[in-house]
Structures are given as C-alpha cells and as structure tokens.
Amino acid sequence: MGVLKRRQESEAITFKVPVGLKREIEYLRGRAEAAGFDLAEAITAAMWRLCKQIKTELESAPLSNDKLGGPGECAICGENAV
C-alpha cells in the first residue's frame, strides 16, 4: 500500500450556522493553521461521518421513496463514505 494519496476534487458549500459556532470555527481555524494543522480536513472527515449517520437514520425511517444511492454510498457521487 502506497503512502501517497490522490488529492480529492473539492467544492465550497454554504450554509447558515449560529454566530457563536461560526466564531468558534474561525478561532479554531486560526489556531490550527498557526500550529500547522488542516482544520478543513478534520471538518470534512466529521461531515462524512455525520452524513453516514444521517443516512442510516433515514434508511430506518418508515417512509422511504429514496431512489438515491445504496447503503454506505453517497447519493450524489456514489463515493463510499469514510
């Protein structure tokens, strides 16, 4: 298994969060960058886990007309969640 990883294509998203959360993220981003860490990578990994959890909850919901994606698969791109 190789050490190198391919860079994933990324795209910005926009959504509203409480002001306090936005300030906390900005603060943490500054501290992480100063320490040489990539906060965006940590947030991306957490978002994948959250999407997987939401999908699991939705799949167990009684009403389902969902025709998007299979188990553990992103409904949009087909990529498996981490």
Q: Is 46 exposed, middle or buried (0-12, 13-18, 19+ CB in 10 A)?
A: exposed
- Give the separation between CA 45 and CA 52, rounded to whole angstroms: 11
With contact defined as beta carbons under 8 Å apart, do 70 and 79 qualify?
no
80 forms beta bridges with 73
pLDDT at residue number 66: 54
Domain range list for the chain: 19-59
How crowded is the C-beta side of 54, counted as CA atoms within 13 Å?
9
Using pLDDT thresholds of 50, 70 and 90, give the confidence band for residue 78: low
pLDDT digits (tens, 9 = 90+) for 12-62: 999 999 999 999 999 999 999 999 999 998 999 999 999 999 999 999 888
Residue in 59, 42, 47 with CA at minimum distance from that of residue 17: 47
